[in-house]
Amino acid sequence: MNSEIIVWFCSALVGAVFVFAGVSKLAIGAEWQVQARNLGVPRIVIPIVPWFEIAVGLGLIGRFISGVVNVAALLMLMFFTAIIVGQLLRGRRPPCACFGRRSTRPIGWSNVTRNITLIALILVVLFV
């Protein structure tokens, strides 16, 4: 398989996850903000997270300004993974808040595994 196809597939897959996550957060409105605070997301970024996820996701899918978008996606995934790991290490398991109403179960190591998989896909995009 051609490396360009692999890069596009990885980028589009992560992009679709980002768009879905952002739209899901917007769909539940103010409930997302409560979930995000409970998860430990800094208040200052909560209002922009869904919009940023959608923008980054669309950039990944369309391969727009790909260098900047790829790094933004990597940093966001690392940031959210750190929040989840921090909560788990403290023994706290609030709902993920990752995908709106679709993620109301308490966080667990499966959330970390999912994010590490997405990080690996973005690293493929960055380095293949």
Write out pLDDT tens, residues 32-65.
Answer: 899 999 999 999 999 999 999 999 999 999 988 8
118 against 66, higher pLDDT: 118
Number of structural domains found in the chain: 1
What does the alpha-carbon distance between residue 61 and residue 63 come to, in Å, rounded to a whole number? 6
Locate 110 and state its tokens. 């499966």
pLDDT at position 102 is 79
What does the alpha-carbon distance between residue 13 and residue 32 come to, in Å, rounded to a whole number? 23
Q: What's the whole-number mean pLDDT along residues 85-91?
A: 97
Which domain does 78 fall in, by range?
3-127
pLDDT at position 1 is 64
Please state the pTM of the whole predicted model: 0.93
Asked if the model's pLDDT at residue 88 lies above 90, the reply is: yes
What does the alpha-carbon distance between residue 125 and residue 34 come to, in Å, rounded to a whole number? 33
Q: Using an 8 Å Cβ cutoff, are 65 and 59 in contact?
A: yes
Residue given tokens 């590490």 in the structure block: 116
**Helix or strand holding residue 67 (H, E):** helix 66-89
**Can you name the residues that pair with 95 across neighbouring β-strands?**
106
Helix (H, G, I), strand (E, B) or coil at 3: helix
pLDDT at position 23 is 97
pLDDT at position 34 is 92
Average per-residue pLDDT for the chain: 94
What does the alpha-carbon distance between residue 41 and residue 92 come to, in Å, rounded to a whole number? 14
pLDDT at position 128 is 86
